[in-house]
Amino acid sequence: MTAEIGQLALTLALALSIVMAATGLAGARVTANVSRRIASSAAMGLLVFIALAFCTLVYAAIVSDFSVLNIADNSSLAKPMLYKITGVWGNHEGSMLLWVLVLALYTGAIAFAKRGSARLTSAALGVQGLLAVAFLLFILFTSNPFLRIDPPPFDGAGLNPLLQDLGLAVHPPTLYIGYVGLSASFAYAAAALITREVDASWARAARPFMLAAWIALTIGITLGSWWAYYELGWGGFWFWDPVENASLMPWLAATALLHSALATERTGAFRTWTLLLAIAAFSLSLIGTFLVRSGVLTSVHAFANDPERGTFILIMLVAAIGGALALFAWRAPSLETGAAFEPVSRETALLVNNVLLVAATATVFLGTLYPLFLDAFTGTKISVGPPFFALTFVPIFVLLLIALPFGPRLSWHKAEFAQAARPLLPALGAALVAAIIVCFVVASHIVAAAGIFALAAWVIAASVLDLIRRPVKTAAAFAVAVAHAGLGVTLMGVAGTTLWRAETLALLGPGEKATVGPYTLTMGQFERDDGPNYAAIRADIHVSAGGNTIATLWPAKRVYPIEQQETAETAIRTTGFSDLYLALGDERGKGRFIVRAYYNPLAPFIWFGGGIMALGGLASLWGRVRAKSRQPNAQAVAAE
């Protein structure tokens, strides 16, 4: 029965989303209050039914109901319970259901928060309704997770073992909260174009949704990168893989959007540009979904190799992006423009930020899609790897980081450059000190390292100084300082790992030694370490530094018999400032295994920095929610 309940819940959700789309959009013209109420009720109903459908699928996974095709294909009896549950979104159908669940959550939040006027909320719900209709149709017609199989198999086919991991249990939902969260900004932007209500209060209404999406994307990308680091066994944290790029592009666009919306909120500047960015950010999310889910890319993320699905997503993509851009082209010229500003002002700084972030997005976009287009039109197969991004993305980000500390110092409308820049002199001093220290301490890549660490010190010192100097330490000021400093911390991690990594590849039997960085590794015994659904071999490796044994690490190799696949379980010892990273390779000869060892200086900073950035976003979101609950009067918030 459970699968039928799920199927019914999805169908009812579809009906409700049609109601929501129709009444919501009608609310932009007539009887906004009534429409908003109906659309809000529909939104709550939508949330309930999609949550019900999702719980049904989770239940089927828990009880291993192999009469449901999706469960039979992607689960198995021997799988640990935790991964039976998280495996629900480890396949195409389940992950699409999670997608609409997150969409329904945001829709519910829009209906519940009632930010902005009744017309605006109503129209935003209408747009969310259209998206829900499209994705529910997609699920019901091409990716139904509730299809039955008769006769049911005795055991399922299992889950991709790479996904049997706690990091992967958390990474997709977080990333989806980010991807789909941009739909709320998109819906508010489309609603603003429909109702022509685009002003400071619009930006205030949409901003918490932009922030929520940005925070989730930041955490999701950080988790994904961390997962790739410890699970794939290659010792790297970012591969410029198209799937990674698919999540980076919406993040870059959302970062630009947050900054541009700040200007719209304060002075009304950039309002059309902010709308366009909101549309672009969600479009990039959709393109990401298409790239990842359609099977045009091959990776651990590509579940679907069904051309019908790819075509359906492509049609949705064209309809959503094309529709929004057409609406923009029609309405944008008639919108009012904001207040003027001088060439030296906060607005100009935000403009520089936006131009650079959009350029960075464009380079990632080209590097990711150019090979696909070339293959589609000429049949020539190429791949664009890290060197391309090192030459395009990196210089843009360097410019961005050089300019960054000036932004928060400049006042709105008109600023004095000298007056704003003078307090940054200590930060410049910190940058010089960092460069000098690097020159003395390190032996290799001195020039690049000195430059990068000076840049990181410049950004971090300026952010901290800015916060210290503020007479009133608002949540907003805290958020800016923390998020910017986090970027500096990540930069140090990236630089340290890229420039000074030590790598050793050794064939080791019991008692044999190898060195990597400051550590000496001594191979101990090999032991069996089998789990519920895999067989594993584990190496005991004793780590010593300066003659003292400091730790024993157990890198392992697992074989999953049902899935016919092997995974490397890396062993990482971190000091917080550097990682010792061990991966067990294949057996060569009798009783000797290849061991891949990396010494990664500052690697943990990459993820600390991501966490700090997300914390900055959370501070900003918290400040906003608190301000709203304390003073429901929007004008009072504006005066903050």
Partner 1 sequence: MNARKKRRLYFVLAVLVAGAGGAALVITALKDNVLYFYSPSDVAAKHVAPGIAFRIGGLVEAGSLKHGGGAEVAFTVTDGKTNVPVKYEGVLPALFREGQGVVAMGALNPSGTFDATQVLAKHDERYMPPEVVDALKRSGRWKEGGA
Contacts with partner 1 by CB under 8 A lie at: 160, 233, 298-300, 305, 337, 340-341, 343, 348, 351-352, 355-356, 358-359, 362-363, 366-367, 370-371, 380-385, 387-388, 391-392, 395-396, 505-507, 557, 563-568, 583, 585-586, 588-589, 594, 596
Are 599 and 608 spatial neighbours (Cβ–Cβ below 8 Å)? no
What is the CA 327 to chain-centroid distance, rounded? 28
Compute the least distance from the CB of residue 144 to partner 1, in Å. Answer: 20
Q: Please state the closest distance from residue 81 (CB atom) to partner 1, in A.
A: 23
| Structural contact between residues 247 and 285, judged by C-beta atoms closer than 8 angstroms | no
- How many other CB atoms are there within 10 angstroms of residue 628's CB atom? 16
Query: Is the C-alpha dihedral spanning 501, 505, 511, 515 positive or negative?
Result: negative
Q: Nearer Cβ to partner 1, position 204 or 557? A: 557
Residues 92, 216, 395, CA angle at the centre, nearest 5°? Answer: 100
Q: How far is the CB of 356 from partner 1 (least distance, A)?
A: 7
* Least gap, CB of 504 to partner 1 (angstroms): 10
How many C-beta atoms lie closer than 10 Å to residue 339's C-beta?
12
Please say which residue, 343 or 429, places its beta carbon nearer to partner 1. Answer: 343
Q: State which residue, 204 or 501, has the beta carbon closest to partner 1.
A: 501
Residue 348: which H helix or E strand, with range?
A: helix 346-378
What is the distance between the alpha carbons of residues 616 and 458, in angstroms, rounded to a whole number? 18
Q: How far is the CB of 563 from partner 1 (least distance, A)?
A: 7
DSSP, collapsed to helix, strand or coil, labels residue 31 as: coil
Q: Which is nearer to partner 1, 387 or 471 (CB)?
A: 387
Nearest-approach distance from CB 174 to partner 1, in angstroms: 23
Measured CA distances, 440 to 434, 460, 494, 502 (Å):
10, 21, 20, 19
Rg (CA), the chain: 26
Q: Closer CB to partner 1, residue 150 or residue 586?
A: 586
Our CB check for partner 1 shows the closer of 370 and 577 to be 370
d(CA 636, CA 262): 17
User: Distance between CA atoms of 551 and 152, rounded to whole angstroms?
Assistant: 49
Min separation Cβ 373 and partner 1, Å: 12
Whole-angstrom CA distances from 23 to 38, 44, 114, 192, 193 are: 7, 14, 16, 17, 17
CB of 93 to partner 1, least distance (A): 15
- Nearest CA to 215 among 565, 519, 614, 556? 614
Report how far residue 82's alpha carbon sits from residue 105's, in angstroms, rounded to the nearest whole number: 23
| Six token digits for residue 132 | 């829900």
Nearer CB in complex with partner 1: 121/567: 567
Residues 6+ apart with CB under 8 A from 438: 446, 449, 450, 453, 454
CB-count exposure of residue 380 (10 Å: 0-12, 13-18, 19+): exposed
Q: How far is the CB of 299 from partner 1 (least distance, A)?
A: 7
Identify the DSSP state of 87.
G
Q: Choose between 119 and 558: whose C-beta lies nearer to partner 1.
A: 558
| CA-closest candidate to residue 10, choices 42, 52, 67 | 52
Closer by beta carbon to partner 1, 448 or else 505: 505
- DSSP single-letter state for residue 445: S
Nearest distance in Å: CB 286, partner 1: 23
* φ and ψ at residue 549, rounded to 5 degrees: -75, 125
C-alpha 391/C-alpha 387 separation (Å) is 6
Q: What is the smallest separation between the CB atom of 303 and partner 1, expressed in angstroms?
A: 10
Could you tell me the smallest distance in angstroms from the CB atom of residue 55 to partner 1?
A: 28
* Nearest one of 460, 459, 464 to 398, comparing CA atoms: 459
In the structure encoding, which two tokens stand for residue 38, read together?
A: 């109906």
Among residues 322 and 385, whose Cβ is nearest to partner 1? 385
| Distance in Å, CB of 380 to partner 1, minimum | 7
Q: What angle do CA 267, 270, 272 make, to 5 degrees?
A: 125
Report helix, strand or coil for 563: coil
Nearer Cβ to partner 1 (394/448):
394
Comparison of 232 and 317: residue with beta carbon closer to partner 1: 232
Q: Which amino acid is at 638?
A: A
| Min dist. Cβ of residue 95 to partner 1 (A) | 16
For residue 532, the tally of other CB atoms under 10 A from its CB is 10
Expressed in angstroms, the distance from the first to the final Cα of the chain is: 55
Nearer to partner 1, 64 or 392 (CB): 392
Closer residue to partner 1, CB minimum distance, 392 or 533: 392
Least distance in Å: CB of 190 to partner 1?
A: 23
Which CB atom, from 87 or from 486, has the smaller least distance to partner 1?
A: 87
Q: Report residue 172 as tokens.
A: 């997709």
